[in-house]
Structure 1
């Protein structure tokens, strides 16, 4: 496990959450978390044929070599993760995954804030699907604004969102 960037308690009764850098040794747990987290998205879109659910362990390992990945742990259990990279001063946020039983507890927000602070980037960009209303609300509450909507072939749209991190 890499360096630790945060250690907080999200509620009076809940366990402490630590945010640590993930590496190849975490790939199996990360893939399990990702698949569990995206089942609800598959239900919203009526299809399990989406990259977070079809990605293989080897594909994930390759992605971990090319991107930063941070995980939120509660009592040693991986309960959230975010993948990102900086390109030309822009923080490009990849998949954010939170365990279904931990969604709504602030873990996604903590992961976003950690990536933003760590990146040193001037702005951040992410995207989600247009039917993922809870995700859009979360990102808007974190200061992201819709910058572009790109039609998908299935009648939905990819919603790109941006946030200015520093001037």
Structure 2
């Protein structure tokens, strides 16, 4: 690869790259469900800008290019909600998703006092489910998204993330 991939907090200057990357990355999910109205594909640039300003957002960079991102926030109940994890298709399978997930967990537990993490993925998204199970997440329920996609809800304790990060 030449240049190593680094993980860092997103800045306002990253918003447009995150927006374009998200649109690219979630095409395969939309195809899997035959639904091109899934949330990551209809989210506006202004909405992404708002998330970068208020939420915990990390990016993976290859040089100056944003090649991955993840977002999270801690709700009023202390649940760290993680979402929109994506890695550029040409860099998948190299552990960047795992690194971004760990960064989000660490930031939410340490900086935002999350006691548990919650995320979701589509029921047909086997690669995502494999990643989350390997990271210690367990299925806690099902839901249907506003876009009609059946989702699997997954959680894990924040203490488990601290242990996994130190292992």
Q: Partner of 2:94 in structure 1?
A: 105
Partner of 2:18: 30
Q: What is the total number of aligned residue pairs between the two structures?
A: 155
Match of 1:72 among 45, 60, 63: 60
Q: Which has the higher helix share?
A: 2
CA RMSD of aligned residues (A): 1.9
Q: 1:86 to 1:39 in 2, by over 3 A?
A: same
Higher strand share: 1
Using the TM superposition, give the Cα deviation of residue 155 of structure 1 relative to its aligned residue in structure 2, in angstroms. Answer: 7.3
Give the TM-score of the pair, scaled to structure 2: 0.85
TM-score w.r.t. structure 1 length?
0.85
Match in the other structure for 1:82? 70
> Deviations for 1:63-96, whole angstroms, at most 9, x for unmatched residues?
2223111101112211100000112322110210
Gapped regions of structure 1 (runs ≥ 5): 1-12
| Structure 2 unaligned regions, length at least 5 | 161-167
Q: Where does 1:52-71 land on structure 2 (aligned, <5 Å)?
A: 52-71=40-59
Structure-2 change in CA distance of 1:146 and 1:27 (3 Å): same
Native 8 Å contact 1:131 1:156 kept in 2: no
Match of 1:144 in 2: 137
Q: 1:164 to 1:29 in 2, by over 3 A?
A: same
